[in-house]
A and B are shown apart, each in its own frame.
Chain A
Amino acid sequence: MSIKSILQNKPCSEAEKQVIEKLRHEANLEKIASSQSKKHGNEVSQFLDLIKDESKPDRKIKNNNRKSTFYLPRLAFASFSLCIASFLIFKGFEKPEEKKWIQDLSLIEDLVELEFQPDLGFMENINLENFTWEKPSVDLNLILTPIADFGSLFTDIEIVPPFNPYFDPVQNLPNRLIPSEFWDFKENTEEDFENFRDSIPFLNEIFSV
């Protein structure tokens, strides 16, 4: 069999011609039989009922309602992502090594509480007018702390939200400060403590020992 004869679609042998004739003959018989088939008739009428039902306006409204619910999970996921992103942008994050100053602060304060009446004059440098000690109507801790905990699962950076209620008291001091004031306070702390130490002679002796 040459390629040319295949491409010209020529049946080459008598046997093949017979096969074609038989196939066509059987196909015609099938057409007649299937046109008289009750089963097909029932199926077609069922299908026609279905599309008539489909074309009713009530049905279309139901379908549209069903489609609209499809966007709810997406919307929930998008708002959740937005919460995390906005938290990280506005509240920032801090590496664990930078917390060292907080430990120093707590050690000194313990010492002061045990032996001396502390002179907390340096506290005057902090603008107390900007503290918001009033409890807000909605406690953001309830929302932000789980998000921060969840976010810290995926990074090795420890997220330190100022709203975290589990902070120790010293760290909790700037609890309700706005972020810029919080960081200003942190930067001036060492200097403030040096002034504080200098103002009490006993402390100088202790530190020199």
Chain B
Amino acid sequence: MQNKESFSDEELAIRSQQGGMADFEELAKRYWPRLHRFLLTYGNDAFASDITQETLLRAYQKISYYHPKKTFAPWVFTIARNLALNSLKRSKRKAEVTMDDNFSESNQEIENDYEIGIMWSKAKQFLSKTAYGSLRLYYGEELTIKEVAFIMGKSEIAIKVILHRSRKKLAEYFKSNPIKL
């Protein structure tokens, strides 16, 4: 029997469509940390965990809708982004006090048992959600421009411009505040 780790994401997704529970488990293990890191764009650690769980649950329930000829990552990242934005809209409607979010942000280091890099932390601080998300998907998750554009709901040109501006902004910041890796 072939080891699950040797399968590509797309192969695992197709096998999951045919009812392979173990194949989806492997997908969940692969995508949990990736989705969690991406979802930190939209909120704190608890928010990212909740939406990651919801995303994978939704992907599991709707795996039959996945198109086998397309790559799996954009599909699942798009679900994650849509769920995150919906959740933010709901919380705005409920007029939740943002103090809770700030409090959780400050405790992020304690909640996570691994550290987010300084560059990424600063990027989150200075960039918009769209810019940080695009940067995370392109440089962090190594997706293509086309895939990033699909996930973020923008044109490829818009994503290129966003990435360029983000790089420039970060370069200017780190020029005046140099850091060592």
How many residues on B have C-beta within 8 angstroms of the other chain's C-beta atoms? 47
- Residue interface mask B26-50, A partner, CB < 8 A = 1: 0011001100110000000000010
Cα A55 to Cα B25 in complex, Å, equals 13
Q: Which residues of B contact A20 (CB under 8 A)?
A: 139, 167
Q: Contact between B119 and A6 (Cβ–Cβ < 8 Å)?
A: no
Which chain B residue has the least Cβ–Cβ distance from A21?
A: B181
Cα A25 to Cα B120 in complex, Å, equals 11
How many residues on A have C-beta within 8 angstroms of the other chain's C-beta atoms? 37
Instruction: Determine how close the nearest CB of chain A comes to the CB of B113; give it in whole angstroms.
Output: 5
Q: Contact between A16 and B171 (Cβ–Cβ < 8 Å)?
A: yes
Q: Contact between A15 and B33 (Cβ–Cβ < 8 Å)?
A: no
Number of cross-chain contacts by CB at 8 Å = 111
Cα A6 to Cα B158 in complex, Å, equals 10
Check A27/B120 contact, CB under 8 A, given A35-B33, A48-B25, A48-B28: yes
Q: Contact between B171 and A38 (Cβ–Cβ < 8 Å)?
A: no
Using CB atoms and an 8 Å cutoff, list the residues of chain A in contact with chain B. 1, 6-7, 9, 11, 13, 15-16, 18-20, 22-27, 29-31, 33-40, 43-44, 47-48, 50-52, 54-55
| Smallest CB-CB A-B distances: 9 pairs | A26-B117, A33-B114, A15-B171, A34-B33, A27-B140, A16-B167, A23-B139, A16-B171, A6-B164
Using CB atoms and an 8 Å cutoff, list the residues of chain B in contact with chain A. 21, 24-25, 28-29, 32-33, 36-37, 49, 52-53, 56-57, 60-61, 111-120, 123, 135-136, 139-141, 145, 157, 160-161, 163-164, 167-168, 170-172, 174-175, 179, 181
